Structure formats: C-alpha cells, structure tokens
C-alpha cells in the first residue's frame, strides 16, 4: 500500500522521531510506514490522518 506520510511529515517540518512521539510509536515504525514495509493498524492510520487533518483514504492508497 502506497502512502503520503513522508510528504505530509516533511511539509509539516517534522522529523520521523517527532512524528513518532506525537503518534506514540517509534521512529523506526514511522520509517517502516513511509517506505511501505509496514501497513499501520487501523487505529494508527486514523491517528495519522487526524494529525494531518486528512482522511485515511487520502493518505493511504491501495495498489491494485
């Protein structure tokens, strides 16, 4: 699944560590989500969307 987390994080001026702190996950988890190695749980995806004032569907893109 592709996502726009990295682009949104950079536009907000946040490091992976800072975003991880806000979401209560590790920097490594943020990195894994950004690179597509890890698909977040639904609660985490919702938290990411809320943080960026967006929706899960706008941030995460299912590859068909």
Tell me: the pLDDT tens digits for 9-57?
A: 999 999 999 999 999 999 999 999 999 999 999 999 999 999 999 999 9
The SS3 call for residue 22 is helix
End-to-end CA distance of the chain: 9
* Amino acid 22: pLDDT: 98
Specify the pTM: 0.94
Burial per residue of 13-28, b for 16 or more beta-carbon CB atoms within 10 angstroms, e otherwise? ebebeebbeebebeee
Is residue 5 within 8 A of residue 33, CB to CB? The reply is yes
* Amino acid 64: pLDDT: 63
Q: H or E stretch including 60?
A: strand 60-61
* Amino acid 15: pLDDT: 98
């Amino acid at each position: 699944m592709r996502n726009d987390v990295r682009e949104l994080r950079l536009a907000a001026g946040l490091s992976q560590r800072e975003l991880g702190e806000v979401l209560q996950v590790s920097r490594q988890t943020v990195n894994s989500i950004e690179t597509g190695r890890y698909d977040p749980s639904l609660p985490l995806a919702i938290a990411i969307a809320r943080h960026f004032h967006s929706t899960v569907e706008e941030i995460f893109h299912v590859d068909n």
